[in-house]
Amino acid sequence: MSTDTRTKYVEPLGYERLKDAELNKGTAFTEEERDRYRLRGLLPARVSTLLEQEARALNNLRRKTSDIERYVFLLALQGRNERLFYRVIINHVEALLPLVRGSLNVEVHDVDSRDDWRERYDQRVPVVEFQGQVVCQYRLDRAAIEDIVAKYGGAGNDQ
């Protein structure tokens, strides 16, 4: 008698899916996805594209009157819809970087601007390095970045 000890993955459905920031697409869930993931009645009826969501998020962000309000808005967005959060950050990095980096000395480089970077990183973007070591790639790892900030206090380029 053999016992299968593998755990079977069950995709979150309904509200559980919406609570997972990595899986939540908000109003960008297609009609088919809304049926498959049992989201009918949990979202507004109108399906939006990710581009439309991005435009709404930017409009809401621009309405904020202080940097702290904008920062809190972005944290909340990351907590509920990571896909949209990263799209907004990556597509508007020049404008939003000062808001999310705080006192860190951060440099933004286009991976495609140099052949050696394109070869080194290819599709592993975004990538964050600190003192020549990769901290995270493919997606921003908030905990890893916070660990670096806590340990070095934003003084990484001087050490």
45-102 confidence digits (pLDDT tens): 999 999 999 999 999 999 999 888 888 898 899 889 989 998 898 888 778 877 776 6
Kindly state whether residues 96 and 146 are assigned to the same domain: no
Kindly state whether residues 16 and 84 are assigned to the same domain: yes
Return the CATH number at 79. Answer: 1.20.1370.30
Q: What is the pLDDT of residue 158?
A: 38
Q: What is the pLDDT of residue 122?
A: 79
Q: Which of 102, 118, 139 is the last residue of a domain?
A: 102
Taking the CB of residue 115, how many other CB atoms lie within 10 A of it?
Answer: 8
Q: How many separate domains does the chain show?
A: 2
User: What range defines the domain where residue 126 resides?
Assistant: 104-159
- What span, in angstroms and rounded, lies between the C-alpha atoms of 28 and 43? 10
Q: How far is CA 147 from CA 31, 70, 131, in A?
A: 40, 23, 14
Q: pLDDT band for 9, please (50, 70, 90 cuts).
A: confident
- What span, in angstroms and rounded, lies between the C-alpha atoms of 64 and 72? 10
22-50 confidence digits (pLDDT tens): 999 999 999 999 999 999 999 999 999 99
